[in-house]
Each structure stands twice: as C-alpha cells, then as structure tokens.
C-alpha cells in the first residue's frame, strides 16, 4: 500500500542547512535501497503558494497558504510499504521528524474501488 508522509516544520526552527541536507541524502539512499521510495521532494516556502477555489464557476485565487499556522508543509514522500507500521518506521527516518512533524496517511486507490 502507498502512504504519503507530509513534512511540517516551523521555518525558524530549521537546523543548519548542510548537515540537514546530508541527513536527507542518507535517508533518501536508505529509502531507495529498501525499495519503498515512490517519490519525494521539498516544497518552496509557503509564501510562494497560491490557494485555488472555484465558486459559481469562477476560479478564485489567494496568495499564500489558506490556513495560518506556525508549522508549514515543507515537503513530502510517497512510500510503498506493507502496512502503516512500516510506513511510520520510514517516516521516523525523515530528518525533519526530529524538530518538526511528519503526518502519515494512506493513499486511497480509487482504481481498486471501481
């Protein structure tokens, strides 16, 4: 089953960039070696976001994220794991988990529901 790991952090709490990137490189290598990595990437700052909605057939946009929060969505991974416990084990290896939060959710597969 596929799981998405959503990486949240407070921008002012980030550790030094170089060691953090080295830790991410090591985690990426482990995920790839173990065969669980489907995709993953970092996101630009929340200030670059555009929130889109459609109301009465009109597209509306807002600059920035919709919700105000101390923590921001900074990136994601998609893991292919046997179960939630395994996905949690890999999510705990994401370096930001030591100072931020990682939300793990199963990805719904609509193809199997048709």
Which 8-state DSSP code applies to residue 83?
Answer: S
Nearest to 100 by CA among 7, 9, 4, 6: 9
pTM: 0.89
State the CATH architecture for 2-108. 2-Layer Sandwich (3.30)
* pLDDT tens across the length of the chain (114 residues): 999 999 999 988 889 999 999 999 999 999 999 999 999 999 998 889 998 999 999 999 988 766 667 889 999 999 999 999 999 999 999 999 999 999 999 999 888 766
Residue 13 is predicted with a pLDDT of 83
Residue 47 is predicted with a pLDDT of 86
With beta carbons less than 8 A apart as the criterion, state whether 93 and 82 touch: no
Collapsed DSSP state (helix, strand, coil) of residue 23 = helix
Mean pLDDT, the chain, integer? 93
Residue 12 is predicted with a pLDDT of 85
Identify the H or E element spanning 112. Answer: none
């Amino acid at each position: 089953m596929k799981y998405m790991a959503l990486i949240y952090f407070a921008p002012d709490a980030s550790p030094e960039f170089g060691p953090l990137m080295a830790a991410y490189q090591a985690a990426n290598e482990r995920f790839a070696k173990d065969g669980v990595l489907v995709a993953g990437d970092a996101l630009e700052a929340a200030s670059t976001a555009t929130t889109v909605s459609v109301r009465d057939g009109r597209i509306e946009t807002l600059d920035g994220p919709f919700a105000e929060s101390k923590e921001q969505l900074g990136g994601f991974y998609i893991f292919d794991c046997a179960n939630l416990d395994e996905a949690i084990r890999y999510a705990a290896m994401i370096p930001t988990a030591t100072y931020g939060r990682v939300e793990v959710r199963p990805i719904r597969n609509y193809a199997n529901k048709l």
